[in-house]
Structure 1
Amino acid sequence: MFRRILVLFSVFSAVVHAQQVSVLAPETHPLLTIYKCTTCGGCQPQTRSVVLDASWRSAHRVTTNEVCLSGNTWNRIVCIDPVLCAKVCAVDSADYAGQYGITTSGNSLRLRYVTHHAEGTNVGSRVFLLESDNKYQKFSLKNREFAFDVDASQLPCGLKSSLSFTEMDADGGSSKFPDNKAGAKFGTGYCDAQCPHEVKWQNGEANLLDWFPTSVDTRAWRGKYGACCTEVNLWEANQHSAAYTAYPCIQKARCDNVIDCGDWHDRYNSFCDKDGCDYNSHRLNDKTLFGSGKAIDTTKKITVITQFITHDNTPTGNLVEIRRIYRQNGIVIQNSRVNIPGVPPHDSLTDGFCSAQKSAFGDRNYFEEMGGLSRVGRVMDDGLVLGMSILDDPERHLLWLDGTFPPDRDSSEPGVVRGTCSLTSGNPTDLEAESPNASVTFSNIRYGDIGSTYPTRSGCGC
């Protein structure tokens, strides 16, 4: 959910020639070191960088300092229609630390929740990993392993950190859509399985048609178009709860109606499985694994390892399992096992687990209808883009992750309780007032052969 700039940016903010290359102020991406690993060759550093999602940026007219977009307000004099707006308006370059609270140091990335600055206030952020200045890094994950360290100790109920992979174009869509000259360099092209309507620039156009605030929060706005694509979220978590989830889509597309977008009551007609198949240990009735002082102590840094298993243990095989391992204080911690009557004691995402969980929780198995893990695996063949974020949730207050959801369901029903947070927690207005300094730090990102990203035997790993 984009809830970014609450106060107008000054018209004198540095601008780039949106949907064009900057000539007035450079877009300087914060550097971030990641590591590529082999089983016995160790982990070798790679210099990369991160770029801010374009939907957090303001925009100005190319030829003047006239505002096109500030916060969630489109200038309707300049932006008469989506195509013209994209042609005459420029997405602004980013002051990452000063305006957005985004900083890097070596292999560490810190995202701050609220950042006050001279031109206003920014809330939350999302960044993508770049391979080069104009290209997102694509990760081929099948028969591979991905690991990272994370410190989520500063995240209260209702505020989440996220590390996810989505089916974005490597260039941000600039080759497909001629009016999008900004591309990956300025963070364009975001999509996910929720078909988000908050993505402000889509297919080289401004998403300004039917642009209005949601009924639950006037600072959360949405437009006519949604950006749908397959998503694998390896980490959605705060101090109290965590989940990893696979979301297949039958196609990557811009949706323009409530049925294809899966809006409101048409959730199960969408291009995408919006529920996904999730592994949340608390929801699966293991309340000892994750939290303050528990087996995985959320007051400390955590190493998160995810393995993508294929049927024949090759990168070209069918994806059949997404396996999770944790490491903390030098100790490897296996994922919890399901403790729900009627569900076999799985400890990873498989089609069998997803089917059994959906049945036990009384949920429609749209995951299977959208193709399940096999569909997710086919999308992985083209590579996925890595995004990291810190976000609140104006519509559902994050209860689907860390509380009781749906809130009107009996908490004794299997799958309803997802965490320890109360029904009154997670209001963004309260969070901004009470926890403005909340932050998440991702670090030591590694990828490579299975078993290569954490010590498994002498001489191997990193």
Structure 2
Amino acid sequence: MFPTAALTALAVAAIARAQQVGTQTPEVHPTLSWETCSAGGSCTSNSGSVVLDANWRWLHTTDGYTNCYTGNTWDTSLCPDATTCATNCALDGADYEGTYGVTSSGNSLKLNFVTNGANTNVGSRVYLMASNTEYEMFKLLNQEFTFDVDVSNLGCGLNGALYFSEMSADGGLSEYPTNKAGAQYGTGYCDSQCPRDLKFINGLANIGNWTGDSNSANSGTGEFGSCCSEMDVWEANSFSAAFTPHPCSVTGQTECSGDQCGATSRYSGVCDPDGCDFNSFRMGDTSFYGDGLTVDTSKPFTVVTQFLTSDNTTTGTLSEIRRIYVQDGVVIQNSNSNIAGVDTANSITEDFCTQQKTAFGDTNDFENHGGLPTIGESFGRGVVLVLSVWDDYAANMLWLDSDYPTDVPATNPGVARGTCATTSGVPADVESTEAIDARSRGQHSKRRRLYQCHWRSWRWRPGPSLHCDRP
């Protein structure tokens, strides 16, 4: 994920976060099946489910309904300090469809962007579960991950993201005694931005130096962040797409503070916030991805990502990340780079990343944190599948689909990333014009467009052979 302060929950004041377990709403995980396949093509179905991240949930007193967090402010009588807050406040179950617009059917998952029910919810983040209490752990070395996606209703400023983060399988339940909720309630999130907007980290409230976000009525940042290596398999809307590994110099989910989080300098932290991205538009092919283009985003398609190792084993060093698409039965190889100073390539390798950083004049924090080998080590330990749809209060998603940064000429190498205007993606505009009423879900309004991301047909198989039929 490129900007800091990303993935911020924007629900109404009653929606907040905690570590104890409430009893007001039963927690029932939406089911989601997926497949494990052999290199020869035979597949076995797995019965899984998804869980909503703790950051989107209602936080209230353990013995009642009083909010522990309202707007972007903590109730200091209930939360005078981090430990007392964890004792007094409970994280409740979720109404997945009615409140959050999260629905599943078989091997299909749909996330609505804005849902207007009794309260207004914006965006969501969910994790794939192996059981009712543990996340599914993927070990991706020398493996291929495949899914179908429909981004036709995701416009400028929106991001339908699928990625892997090195979270703990139980969400920190066993390691932190004050965490009574665990993975069953979506705790333990981390990523390469070391997000400080999390209300609870390692079982304690993140209330120290909490500052409300001036751009959001419901979000803020605390003293601590939560860091881990991250592999962005898919960050996309209907205009642009990118896949990006982000290595970190820490093992697993790690709490940070100050410069460890990159608080005062973007590159002072323990993680690489930029990563090494492959965005076809940014890499010089402006006719590859979009409505009516080679990968036609007006209709569904299959995304294939292969994680190759140096010795073609599941214990080798990660050496290359390949991308392939399948649409209407046609296998589409990823676009080739067309940037001066970068060799022609359609995958992510160490050489590609070094050349790209030099050509674009970017800080090579990717190499500083160990590059692909570090990401591979994370894959070897196991990572959690994350899916979200979100807008960007830090940079309006311009880093994905427009010209960014905006204070340099768009003709400079690496600045142009998509066709969206630099005035697009303002969260207040996107959220107000793209809302969907829960009572008319699935129907397009004359005044409001339905923004949603739809994934289906998950497959995970030994790589790097591509199974070319449609999932």
Q: What's the TM-score bracket when you normalise by the shorter of the two chains?
A: over 0.9
1:20 Cα offset (Å)? 4.4
Residue in structure 1 matched with residue 111 of structure 2 by the alignment: 111
Please tell me whether residue 438 in structure 1 is matched to residue 432 in structure 2. Answer: no
Please tell me whether residue 255 in structure 1 is matched to residue 253 in structure 2. Answer: no
1:351 Cα offset (Å)? 0.6
Residue in structure 1 matched with residue 163 of structure 2 by the alignment: 164
Looking at structure 2, the residues matched to 64 and 217 of structure 1 have their Cα atoms a distance apart, in angstroms, of: 27
Go from structure 1 to structure 2 and tell me whether the alpha carbon gap of 1:432 and 1:22 turns closer, same or farther (over 3 Å shift): closer
Residue in structure 2 matched with residue 135 of structure 1 by the alignment: 134
Question: What is the identity, as a one-letter code, of the residue corresponding to 1:447?
Answer: W
Residue in structure 1 matched with residue 13 of structure 2 by the alignment: 8
Residue in structure 1 matched with residue 102 of structure 2 by the alignment: 102
Given that residues 2 and 220 in structure 1 are in contact (C-alpha distance below 8 angstroms), is that contact kept between their aligned partners in structure 2? no
Question: What is the identity, as a one-letter code, of the residue corresponding to 2:171?
Answer: G
Looking at structure 2, the residues matched to 254 and 260 of structure 1 have their Cα atoms a distance apart, in angstroms, of: 9
My pick for the range that moved more, 104-113 or 205-214, is 205-214
Residue in structure 1 matched with residue 445 of structure 2 by the alignment: none
Residue in structure 2 matched with residue 30 of structure 1 by the alignment: 30
1:427 Cα offset (Å)? 0.5
Given that residues 320 and 374 in structure 1 are in contact (C-alpha distance below 8 angstroms), is that contact kept between their aligned partners in structure 2? yes
Given that residues 5 and 72 in structure 1 are in contact (C-alpha distance below 8 angstroms), is that contact kept between their aligned partners in structure 2? no
Residue in structure 1 matched with residue 329 of structure 2 by the alignment: 330
Question: What is the identity, as a one-letter code, of the residue corresponding to 1:105?
Answer: S
1:342 Cα offset (Å)? 1.0
1:455 Cα offset (Å)? 2.3
**Alignment deviations for residues 342-400 of structure 1 (CA, whole Å, 9 cap, x no partner):** 11001101010000000000111110110000011011111100000000001100000
1:198-277 to structure 2, matched below 5 A, reads 198-251=197-250, 252=252, 253-257=254-258, 259-264=259-264, 266-277=265-276
Please tell me whether residue 82 in structure 1 is matched to residue 87 in structure 2. Answer: no
1:17-56 to structure 2, matched below 5 A, reads 19-20=19-20, 25-56=25-56
**Alignment deviations for residues 283-332 of structure 1 (CA, whole Å, 9 cap, x no partner):** 00101110010000011102000000000000000000011000111100
Residue in structure 2 matched with residue 406 of structure 1 by the alignment: 405
Looking at structure 1, the residues matched to 419 and 432 of structure 2 have their Cα atoms a distance apart, in angstroms, of: 22
**Paired residues, number:** 450
- In percent, how many aligned pairs have the same letter? 47
Residue in structure 1 matched with residue 358 of structure 2 by the alignment: 359
Given that residues 216 and 395 in structure 1 are in contact (C-alpha distance below 8 angstroms), is that contact kept between their aligned partners in structure 2? no
TM-score (norm 2): 0.92
Given that residues 37 and 452 in structure 1 are in contact (C-alpha distance below 8 angstroms), is that contact kept between their aligned partners in structure 2? no
1:5 Cα offset (Å)? 4.6
Looking at structure 1, the residues matched to 188 and 112 of structure 2 have their Cα atoms a distance apart, in angstroms, of: 23
Given that residues 72 and 213 in structure 2 are in contact (C-alpha distance below 8 angstroms), is that contact kept between their aligned partners in structure 1? no
Question: What is the identity, as a one-letter code, of the residue corresponding to 2:315?
Answer: T
RMSD, matched Cα: 1.8
Go from structure 1 to structure 2 and tell me whether the alpha carbon gap of 1:5 and 1:362 turns closer, same or farther (over 3 Å shift): closer
Given that residues 307 and 464 in structure 2 are in contact (C-alpha distance below 8 angstroms), is that contact kept between their aligned partners in structure 1? no
Given that residues 195 and 226 in structure 2 are in contact (C-alpha distance below 8 angstroms), is that contact kept between their aligned partners in structure 1? yes
Match of 1:39, SS state, is coil
Looking at structure 2, the residues matched to 295 and 379 of structure 1 have their Cα atoms a distance apart, in angstroms, of: 33
User: What stretches of structure 2 of length at least 5 have no aligned partner?
Assistant: 1-5, 436-449
Residue in structure 2 matched with residue 385 of structure 1 by the alignment: 384
Question: What is the identity, as a one-letter code, of the residue corresponding to 2:288?
Answer: L
Given that residues 401 and 419 in structure 2 are in contact (C-alpha distance below 8 angstroms), is that contact kept between their aligned partners in structure 1? yes
Residue in structure 2 matched with residue 65 of structure 1 by the alignment: 65
Question: What is the identity, as a one-letter code, of the residue corresponding to 1:64?
Answer: G
Given that residues 171 and 183 in structure 1 are in contact (C-alpha distance below 8 angstroms), is that contact kept between their aligned partners in structure 2? yes
Match of 2:267, SS state, is helix
1:22 Cα offset (Å)? 5.5
Looking at structure 2, the residues matched to 273 and 309 of structure 1 have their Cα atoms a distance apart, in angstroms, of: 21
Question: What is the identity, as a one-letter code, of the residue corresponding to 1:157?
Answer: C
Match of 1:163, SS state, is strand
